[in-house]
Amino acid sequence: MSGPHVIRGSVVLPEAELGWRFSRSSGPGGQHVNTSDSQVELRFDLAATQALPEVWKERALERLAGRLVDGVLTVRASDHRSQWRNRETAAVRLAGLLAEATAPPPKARRKSRIPRGINERRLREKKQRGDTKRGRSGRGWD
């Protein structure tokens, strides 16, 4: 593979905790497609891992609850014809999923207040625009 699978910072997924399974990809192909196991299924036991800090692990278990089956996260890749490239794709997807799921929650948005001067200027300009348009009418020319 292409080196360790870094989640974020110094946190790395150990190769020993990754489970690989290979099968034949579906879809069009040639004579080669019926003989090679190019589809990759990568399994990672999120509930039992010791590789992630406890806070990250809880966050990931909560955010990925819909994707987990008995605490195991599964990623499939069959984009490429080569098993090797599919392995790399699956590993990158898994690392990306875990990085996103373990990210700290965003800071709460503080409601901004429009300064009084800006609001007054907007109302003054609206008034001027209305006066200009009112002046265009043919009323009062009799």
- pLDDT tens per residue across span 117-138: 999 999 999 999 999 998 888 7
Q: If you average pLDDT over every residue of the chain, what do you get? A: 84
Count Cα atoms within 13 angstroms, Cβ side, for 45: 8
pLDDT at 53: 85
Distances from the Cα of 62 to the Cαs of 75, 89, 117, in angstroms?
A: 18, 24, 46
Q: Categorize the per-residue pLDDT at 141 as very low, low, confident or very high, splitting at 50, 70 and 90.
A: low
Write down the H helix ranges in 14-141: 54-63, 83-102, 116-135
CB under 8 Å, gap of 24 or more: what pairs does 96-99 form? 97/64, 97/67, 97/73, 98/7, 98/13, 98/44, 98/46, 98/52, 98/60, 98/73, 99/7, 99/8
Q: Extract the tokens encoding 103.
A: 């990210």
pLDDT tens for 29-73 read 666 655 677 888 999 888 888 888 888 888 888 888 888 888 888
Whole-angstrom Cα distance, residue 39 to residue 86? 7
Of 80, 121, 88, 120, whose CA–CA distance to 18 is shortest? Answer: 88
pLDDT at 54: 87
pLDDT at 14: 81
Of the chain, the end-to-end C-alpha distance in Å amounts to: 89
Report field, pTM of the whole predicted structure over 0.75: no
Contact, 43 vs 18, CB < 8 A? Answer: yes
pLDDT tens for 13-33 read 888 888 888 887 766 666 665
pLDDT at 118: 95
